Amino acid sequence: MDVTTDPGAPWLIVGLGNPGPEYAMNRHNVGFMVVDLLAGRVGGKFKRAGKAQAQVVEGRIGPPGPGSRRVVLVKPMSYMNLSGGPVNALREFYKVPVGNVVAVHDELDIGYGTLRLKLGGGDNGHNGLKSITKALGSDYHRARFGIGRPPGRMQVADFVLKDFSSAERKELDYFVDRAADAVECLVIDGLERAQSTYNS
């Protein structure tokens, strides 16, 4: 199901993660990695977003002309479990319909590198999604980047706050690039086309 909104309205693409260099390569920060790549593609550098506790890049994606879409890329700087406040403040500031919000996040219940795009749904225990849903309701898009389940008896909290393994890092750039492609496809061509192309 596609959300029909004003075609001129901007999209808010939110990468979920924790601020600070110590978290940069954590599994929990893959959302930041994807929006960092998108920022490079639109030729922007993240900067502080006024009073909102976030960094943003504004730009356009898609072919030049009427087919392109205005996007605001967001990295909340509030820590994962408080992401909803900055996201909602920016959504209101840029006048973005909830259906034009995309949260890019790590997902435990699908295998490493697997991608799933969807609209709405629960938070599956993800603190970033929980906070955003509390602020916006659940009718926003999600780009779910699979990180798999922790091995053995490792706690979920420890697993998501560990860096990707050396074996995972060999393919990480490819998977992050593919996730960025999928988000662009979602914004330009709609959810159904993006799902049929990228959901695996």
User: Between the CA atoms of 76, 45, 36 and 94, what dihedral angle is there, to the nearest 10 degrees?
Assistant: 50
Residue position matching structure tokens 């914004």: 187
* CB 145, CB 175: distance < 8 Å: yes
- Cβ 47 vs Cβ 56: under 8 Å: yes
28 in catalytic set: yes
Q: Which entry of 28, 105, 126, 141 is annotated as an active-site residue? A: 28
8 Å CB contact between 20 and 77: no
* Chain Cα centroid distance, residue 121: 15
List active site positions: 28
